[in-house]
Amino acid sequence: MKRMSIIVPCYNEEESVPLFYDACTAALSKLPVEAEFWFVDDGSLDHTLLRLKELRERDGRVHYVSFSRNFGKEAGIFAGLEAATGDYLAVMDVDLQDPPALLGQMLAGIEDEGWDCVATRRVTRAGEPRLRSFFARAFYRLINRISKTEVVDGARDFRLMTRKMADAVLSLKEVSRFSKGIFSWVGFRTKWLEYENVKRAAGETKWSFWKLLLYSLDGIIGFSTAPLAIASVMGLVFCLLAFALILFFFIKTLIWGDPVAGFPAMICIILLLGGIQLFCIGILGQYLSKTYLETKRRPLYVAREKE
């Protein structure tokens, strides 16, 4: 029988952990696989680790890695994939927003239909603040326009993949990780299952608007260098404009002889160009800071306990 590893990053999820375990074991019992769980306690400040230890005592298939502090969901996924030993690996949220009932379809997709990975995307964003949905859509449009790596709109991290694909994901050691891009970058044949958004079983979302914004920047910087070209393009456009203007004023002065009055215009131009220059330096800075952090080659997480 094939082995399936369920990888579950958890951050302050003491309420969700038991609910998830019950729902997931129920779904797994119907499948022809040998299951194991890898929960990753991402530096939780509540009793998440205690709940995990209780589960481990009850059920030998439950394992956990506990981080020394909060390293983020991406590090959690990485640690889980690294620790898991199954032939098939599933990444799931603990809040039951990823329905365990889909695991059967996913397994069939890999075993019967020969896909390397079965991933999910939600087709609705019900229950999410409007402003957030708007920015999310804008982000997907933007990144797909400027990046060669396809990032599917509404893609969840919930997916089942083969050992081969998981090993490929693990071979990407970058520190600032953007899973939606990484899963797509490694390639392999991926089937998409669609489902309606499900509300959290318990607890609160861990993503503030600000965190999501920074995460989207990680995605853009990690998978596109297009913003770096903005400076060159704008520079060229403004040079051409300047040449045209010089010619215009030169000829105008030669013919009519009136001097150019333009203190306000001057201020506007200085501010505009100054702004554009700072903006472009800012973009450079973003890429530089990412490069700087990558060159340190720090580990993606530090584990305090692993069992």
Binding residues (CB under 6 A) for ligand UDP: these are: 9-11, 13, 42, 70, 72-73, 76, 93-95, 97, 205-207
Give residues in contact with Mg ion (CB under 5 A).
93, 95, 97
d(CA 166, CA 4): 12
Question: Within 10 Å of residue 204's Cβ, how many Cβ atoms?
Answer: 8
- Among residues 222, 116, 207, which one has the least CA distance to residue 177? 222
CB of 18 to ligand UDP, least distance (A): 14
Q: Which is nearer to Mg ion, 36 or 93 (CB)?
A: 93
- Angle at 136 (CA atoms; ends 133, 137), nearest 5 degrees: 90
> Cα separation of 208 and 266, whole Å?
42
Q: Report, in Å, the least distance between residue 203 CB and ligand UDP.
A: 8
Nearer Cβ to ligand UDP, position 25 or 227?
25
In terms of CB distance, is 97 or 280 closer to ligand UDP? 97
Residue 74 contacts which entry, ligand UDP, Mg ion, none (Cβ below 5-8 A, type-dependent): none
Bridge-based pairing of strands 190-195 and 117-122 is: parallel
191 binds, among Mg ion, ligand UDP, none (CB under 5 to 8 A by kind): none
- For 91, the 3-state DSSP assignment is strand
**Helix (H), strand (E) at residue 65:** strand 62-67
> Minimum Å distance from CB 277 to ligand UDP?
36
Closest CB 71 distance from ligand UDP, rounded Å: 8
To the nearest whole angstrom, how small is the minimum distance from the Cβ of residue 94 to Mg ion?
Answer: 8
The dihedral formed by the CA atoms of 219, 13, 23 and 169, expressed in degrees to the nearest 10 = 30
163 or 206: CB nearest ligand UDP: 206
The residue (of 2 and 132) whose beta carbon lies closer to ligand UDP is: 132
Question: Between 68 and 124, whose beta carbon lies closer to Mg ion?
Answer: 124
Q: Which does 11 bind (CB under 5 to 8 A by kind): Mg ion, ligand UDP, none?
A: ligand UDP
Q: What Cα–Cα distance (Å) separates residue 227 from each residue in 23, 44, 136, 286?
A: 44, 36, 19, 10
The option from Mg ion, ligand UDP, none interacting with 10 (CB < 5 to 8 A, set by class) reads ligand UDP
Residues 6+ apart with CB under 8 A from 305: 49, 64, 65, 66
Q: Are 178 and 155 in contact (CB under 8 A)?
A: no
Judged by beta carbon distances under 5 to 8 A according to partner kind, the member of Mg ion, ligand UDP, none in contact with residue 116 is none
Which of ligand UDP, Mg ion, none is residue 81 near (CB under 5 to 8 Å by kind)? none
